């Protein structure tokens, strides 16, 4: 332990500590100290500069498209590179629908896992279980995509889609041929990818709910589930919502896995079996092959819109999580 | 006396009704079910990855160049080297800036500028990787050409927020008494920060660096239009370069069975690289700190 040693040595020179310190520093450390502080400040400022630069590049790059289409860019649904007519609506629709579908699937599962790990499971299982769930977060997006193409998509088209059509066909949400590549596939793979985020944040939020809340509810004669519902979940609502929104932020910007299974067809279809297209996927597919300044500019404008939306969503989430965990010693009282 | 009071209180509690007890059991069952539903795809993905990966990987894959379209065989040697090149560039840029920003935040950052930088780092962390790719394209490719450098810069931008925030957290965990002891000995502030504070927090800082590294090692989206990909050898940082994740993406979308096989082999190599990199450094750091203590 390096702790005690320096302390002992200060005791040796204990008497002159305060008068001597400035003297020594004035002779030996003043200029290097300033250089050091300046260098570290420069590193910090670089973080600011990078964000400013990204914003500047996105805005200046999309100017051409903004002048050509204005607000109609976000309301028009034709995407015609040959005649240079660009409307982003199908991509916005695809991003929103696939992300919301992912949330619908992921939220109950993620919250369930978090509740199980914090409130129900034996202590010995707790560590390995959360480790495994967080392992999901370490898998690169392209590998999720690879798995989805070779396992999920065939599974959907052979078994799940025909089944859904037989049982829930009347909703017209599942019309059309069961190809596999579809909004549904994108939603499912996104759900698998955002579960770790939502569940790890929910777990953190549940852990800062004070223990005496649980004890108080139990003392009133509640069952374990009633204790979780009244004493834990109700207290953690805002934080869980923050985790969900953070998951949404991730889903909105997710690129590779979605691009590989969504079908890449710029259309607005009601059926979840129909192929769609998302904002991130159109960038991935068309950016390096785009010819013509307006085409590139329209793509950069999609990037700018994605940037703005994800920043708003993330800031909202941070705020919510912060209001819950603020001032509480996290993980301290579990 | 107190015991009898307690027992009396216990007896006065009404028995928990049948329906409440059933609800309790049902909800426990539901929670267990969600765990199983979440673990199922994890096991399926890992299991399938290992199964296909081990079946597909061979010496040729690791040492040979890609064969022309339609010919079977060949490998991804150039992509593995290309990934190493891009990640090297990213680490060379991202680690010093990230650690430096972390030091600033921990040691000098209790002011408005510090708050602004902290907020910016959090914002950058949430920016989709493809958008960072677009920005890097506009910055480094548009007026020049596709290069490993552009991809490295894009990945470095993604590494900095994670590294700076974990470095800050780790430095703040170092007891204030250590710093004061060094000041008391007349050690200048820069020396204290580098040889006492940062040194003490080394293992935590390296863990942050490895987390950032593992995160960007598998990134594909920011490389699509910065490094572009390349079917030949390239060791120049100003040229288009092959990268493992890019190659996996291209091969997965191809119609050839042999390329699918290689995509799985590539995915397996990628996961093994990420996991061993993290595990090796964790192990080394743990041994290092024990050795020092």
Interface contact flag, B38 A109, Cβ < 8 Å: yes
Looking at residue B208, what is its pLDDT? 87
- Whether B265 has its CB under 8 Å from any CB of chain A: the answer is no
Over residues B125-136, the mean pLDDT reads 92
Closest CA to B230 of B219, B218, B242, B222: B242
Provide the ipTM: 0.86
Are the beta carbons of B271 and B49 closer than 8 angstroms?
A: yes
Domain boundaries, chain B: 78-245
In this predicted structure, the answer to whether residue B73 has a pLDDT above a threshold of 70 is yes
Mean pLDDT within B42-49? 90
Please state which CATH class domain B78-245 belongs to: mainly alpha
The SS3 assignment for A86 reads strand
- Which residue in B128, B243, B248, B292 has the most chain A C-beta atoms within 10 A of its own C-beta, making it the best mutation to test that interface? B128
Mean pLDDT for the stretch of residues B121-148: 88
**Residue A29: its pLDDT value, please?**
56
The stretch B136-160 carries a mean pLDDT of 89
| Banded model confidence at residue A145, pLDDT cuts 50, 70, 90 | very high
Cβ(A262)–Cβ(A182) below 8 Å? yes
Q: What is the pLDDT of residue A168?
A: 84
| Residue B225 pLDDT | 87
pLDDT > 90: percent of chain B: 47
- Domain A70-325, CATH homologous superfamily name and number: MetI-like (1.10.3720.10)
Compute the average pLDDT of residues A130-139: 76
- CATH 1.10.3720.10 positions along chain A are 70-325
HSE-CB for B184 with a 13 A CA cutoff: 19
CA distance B90 to A261: 29
Q: Give per-residue pLDDT as tens, B215-258.
A: 899 899 999 988 888 878 777 878 888 899 999 999 988 888 88
Q: Which two tokens stand for residue B186?
A: 């007349």
CA of residue A238 relative to chain centroid, distance = 17
Task: Find out whether B12 and B228 touch, Cβ atoms under 8 Å.
Answer: no
Tokens of A245: 């929104």
Query: Are the beta carbons of B135 and A120 separated by less than 8 Å?
Result: no
pLDDT for residue B175: 92
Could you tell me if B133 and B68 are in contact, meaning their C-beta atoms sit under 8 angstroms apart?
A: no
Is residue B13 pLDDT above 70, yes or no?
no
Across-strand partners of A80? Answer: A85
- The overall average pLDDT reported for chain B is 86
Average pLDDT of the segment spanning B87-105:
95
Q: Strand, helix or coil at A270?
A: coil
What pLDDT is recorded for position A25? Answer: 47
Closest CB to B263: pick one of A25, A146, A280. A146
Q: What is the pLDDT of residue A27?
A: 44
Partnered with residue B32 across adjacent β-strands are none
Q: How confident is the model at residue A248 (pLDDT cuts 50, 70, 90)?
A: very high
Task: Determine the pLDDT at residue A19.
Answer: 46
Of A2-6, A103-107, B187-191, the least confident:
A2-6
Q: What is the mean pLDDT of residues A174-186?
A: 87
CA angle A39, A41, A43 (to 5 degrees): 75
Q: B71 and chain A: CB distance < 8 Å anywhere?
A: no
The reported pLDDT for the residue numbered B6 is 53
d(CA A228, CA A223): 9
| Alpha carbon distance B17, B293 (integer Å) | 58
> pLDDT tier at A5 (50, 70, 90 boundaries)?
very low
Q: Are the C-beta atoms of B138 and A57 separated by less than 8 Å?
A: yes
**Cβ of B51 under 8 Å from any chain A Cβ?**
no
Give the nearest partner residue to A143 out of B28, B33, B218, using CB atoms.
B218
CA angle B185, B189, B191 (to 5 degrees): 80
| pLDDT at residue B63, as a whole number | 83
Q: Between A7 and B252, whose confidence is greater?
A: B252
Question: Of B282 and A202, which is predicted with more confidence?
Answer: A202
* Residue A123, SS3 per DSSP: helix
Mean residue pLDDT of chain A comes to: 84
- CA-based nearest residue to A59, from B147, B146, B131: B131
pLDDT band at B288 (very low <50, low <70, confident <90, very high): low
The predicted pLDDT at position A13 comes to: 45
Q: Is B211 exposed, middle or buried (0-12, 13-18, 19+ CB in 10 A)?
A: middle
Q: Is B195 on the interface with A (CB under 8 A)?
A: no
């Amino acid at each position: 332990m390096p702790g005690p040693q320096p302390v002992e040595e200060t005791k040796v020179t204990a008497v002159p500590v305060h008068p001597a310190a400035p003297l020594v520093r004035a002779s030996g450390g003043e200029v290097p100290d300033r250089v050091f502080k300046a260098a570290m400040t420069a590193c910090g400022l670089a973080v600011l500069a990078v964000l400013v630069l990204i914003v500047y590049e996105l805005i200046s790059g999309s100017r051409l498209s903004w002048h050509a289409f204005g607000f109609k860019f976000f309301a028009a649904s034709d995407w015609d590179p040959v005649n240079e007519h660009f409307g982003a609506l199908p991509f916005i629709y695809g991003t929103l629908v696939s992300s919301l579908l992912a949330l619908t699937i992921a939220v109950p599962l993620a919250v369930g896992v978090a509740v199980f790990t914090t409130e129900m499971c034996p202590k010995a299982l707790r560590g390995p279980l959360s480790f495994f769930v967080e392992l999901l977060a370490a898998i690169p997006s392209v590998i999720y995509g690879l798995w989805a193409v070779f396992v999920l998509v065939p599974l959907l088209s052979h078994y799940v889609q025909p089944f859904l059509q037989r049982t829930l066909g009347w909703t017209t949400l599942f019309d059309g041929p069961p190809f596999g590549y579809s909004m549904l596939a994108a939603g499912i793979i996104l759900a698998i990818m955002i579960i770790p985020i939502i569940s790890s944040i929910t777990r953190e939020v549940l852990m800062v709910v004070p223990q005496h809340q649980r004890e108080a509810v139990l003392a009133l004669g509640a069952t374990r589930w009633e204790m979780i519902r009244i004493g834990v979940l109700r207290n953690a609502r805002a934080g869980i919502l923050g985790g969900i929104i953070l998951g949404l932020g991730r889903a909105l910007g997710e690129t590779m896995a979605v691009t590989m299974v969504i079908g890449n067809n710029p259309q607005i279809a009601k059926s979840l079996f129909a192929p769609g297209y998302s904002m991130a996927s159109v960038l991935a597919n068309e950016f390096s092959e785009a010819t013509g300044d307006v085409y590139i500019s329209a793509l950069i404008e999609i990037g700018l819109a994605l940037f703005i939306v994800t920043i708003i969503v993330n800031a909202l989430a941070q705020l919510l999580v912060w209001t819950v965990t603020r001032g509480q010693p996290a993980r301290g009282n579990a | 006396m107190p015991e009898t009071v307690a027992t009396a209180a216990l007896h006065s509690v009404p028995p928990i009704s049948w329906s409440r007890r059933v609800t309790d059991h049902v909800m426990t069952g539901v929670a267990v079910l969600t765990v199983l539903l979440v673990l199922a795809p994890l096991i399926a993905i890992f299991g399938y990855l290992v199964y296909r990966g081990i079946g597909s990987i061979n010496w040729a894959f690791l040492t040979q160049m890609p064969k022309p379209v339609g010919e079977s065989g060949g490998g991804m040697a150039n992509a593995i080297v290309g990934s190493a090149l891009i990640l090297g560039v990213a680490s060379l840029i991202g680690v010093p800036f990230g650690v430096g920003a972390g030091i600033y935040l921990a040691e000098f950052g209790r002011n408005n500028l510090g708050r602004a930088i902290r907020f910016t780092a959090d914002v950058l962390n949430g920016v989709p990787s493809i958008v960072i790719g677009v920005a890097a394209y506009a910055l480094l490719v548009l007026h020049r050409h596709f290069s490993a450098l552009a991809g490295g810069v894009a990945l470095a931008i993604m590494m900095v927020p994670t590294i700076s925030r974990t470095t800050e957290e780790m430095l703040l965990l170092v007891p204030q008494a250590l710093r004061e002891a060094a000041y008391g000995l007349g050690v200048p502030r820069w020396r204290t920060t580098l040889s006492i504070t940062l040194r003490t927090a080394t293992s935590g800082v390296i863990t942050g660096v490895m987390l950032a590294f593992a995160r960007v090692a598998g990134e594909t989206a920011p490389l699509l239009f910065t490094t572009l990909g390349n079917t030949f050898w390239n060791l120049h940082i100003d040229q288009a370069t092959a990268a493992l994740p890019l190659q996996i993406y291209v091969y997965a979308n191809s119609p050839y069975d042999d390329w699918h096989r290689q995509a799985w082999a590539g995915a397996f190599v990628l996961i093994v690289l990420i996991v061993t990199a993290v595990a090796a450094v964790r192990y080394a750091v743990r041994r290092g700190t024990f050795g020092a203590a």
